[in-house]
Amino acid sequence: MAAKNHVRALVHSTGQTMTWAIGYYKAYRFEISQNATDDMILDDVVDLASGNASVTFTNVLEEILSAASANYSEFLIVAHGSPKGLIMPLGPGLGSADKDNLPAMTEMAGIVTEKDRLNAITNPQQQVAEWIKLLQRVSGTRIAGGATWGHIYSQQLNAIASAADAEKWLETMAPTVNHQSMLTNPSSVKLLDLRNKVAAKKLNRVEVRACNLGGDSDGMSALREFLGATRVLAPMVKTFYGHVSPTLFVKDVDYNRWLARNAPWLLNGRSVPADTRTYVGDDLFMSMKATRTTPLAVLKIMQPGFQTCAGAAGAAGNYAMIKRLVETNIDVKQTSGYRSGLFFVGGLDPVAGRTPTNPPPASANGKAYLLASEPEYRAMIISNP
């Protein structure tokens, strides 16, 4: 069994933002959880889109099963999402991996498990009797999401002479997807088989970094029950990722000019504009007469998805102040070995997409962005159960 908190990260790297997410997790190799005792160490970061024209949740299940076979029981999934679930098809031609579709598939996976149990019965008479009970139980019933089973009547039940006859009836009666039985459609058959194999692994924890998924307990429960996991955790706000190319200033006058233009509130003590955050590393009094310290490196993040960064260098190519900024605010576990050049940034965004009727969570304390260094980050992560 892999050590506690050692996880494999699975990243759905479609679109620019998720390409940056791959860079972020490969650089820092950790992810903050709801509780410090659950902070994740990323042993491996898998790019789900590598070589795939289209990523589906079936691909995710294949990766989970592969890692579970290597004794992993905790996972991080990074993907596009909504409160309903993941914005990702369950498989080719199937609906999204969300609360509208996952419960039905979980229910059908249970039918597959029961089918396998019945086929393992060695006494032919008992086997047919058990098959008939299953067919009677499902006949005309409705599954999660509203799809219905077909009917089977007494005359048809009486004509069943073998397990093979019964199984054909089960496939014929089953709810359909794309006008084909869920129990014969290749995409759903593969999905259900993988689901049961993953559920049998009894995963301890699946953390998801997908926008707003933690905001809907039904969406969280649907995902947890499908995976058969003990816990699923996800943020109730949006996620964000980016990459930043810092500007270095050798002359203090040029750096101060950049500060005055990009973050004057750090010089004059005035309020930070709405939907904007600035992060700093070290600071000092720039002169004997100075009444305020000046940050020696600044990262500015503002809506919608814009980042800029600069630092005092003292000499060309000296990234020491940028390194300090990264370690203080982003690489809080100091795992990246960052020394120079561009760096990745990622975190949670409590403000984006919010309205007066759906305001940012109070536990965000009014902050527009949250990085790994901030205690409010943990408060945005919801656990189910």
Q: pLDDT by residue (tens digit) across 298-337?
A: 999 997 668 999 999 989 999 999 999 999 999 999 999 9
Tracing tokens 């040029």 back to the chain, one arrives at: 254
The single residue listed with the structure tokens 């304390």 is 365
Quote the pLDDT of residue 247.
97
| 307, 244 contact by CB (below 8 A) | yes
Structure tokens at 282: 């070290």
Measured CA to CA, the distance from residue 171 to residue 119 in angstroms comes to 14
Q: Please give the single-letter amino acid code of residue 373.
A: S
Q: How high is the mean pLDDT of the chain?
A: 95
Entry pTM:
0.94
pLDDT value of position 240? 95
**Which of these ranges, 44-53, 97-106, 188-197, 257-266, has the smallest mean pLDDT?**
44-53
- Continuous H helices in 149-293: 154-158, 163-173, 186-199, 217-227, 252-262, 265-268
pLDDT value of position 361 = 97
pLDDT in tens, 115-169: 999 999 999 999 999 999 999 999 999 999 999 999 999 999 999 999 999 999 9
Separation of alpha carbons 6 and 275, rounded Å: 34
Residue-level pLDDT at 51? 73
* Residue 215 pLDDT: 96
Cα(108)–Cα(173) distance, integer angstroms: 12
Nearest to 279 by CA among 240, 235, 330: 330
> Which of residues 286 and 64 earns the better pLDDT score?
64
Residue-level pLDDT at 293: 84
How far is residue 334's CA from residue 348's CA, in Å, rounded to a whole number?
Answer: 20
pLDDT of residue 306: 85
Q: What is the pLDDT of residues 75-103, one digit of tens each?
A: 999 999 999 999 999 999 999 999 999 99
Res. 269 pLDDT band, cuts 50 70 90: confident
Over 80: is that where the pLDDT of 249 sits?
yes
Q: Is the pLDDT of residue 286 over 80?
A: no
β-bridge pairing 6-11 and 74-78: parallel
Q: Are 368 and 354 in contact (CB under 8 A)?
A: no
pLDDT of residue 117: 98
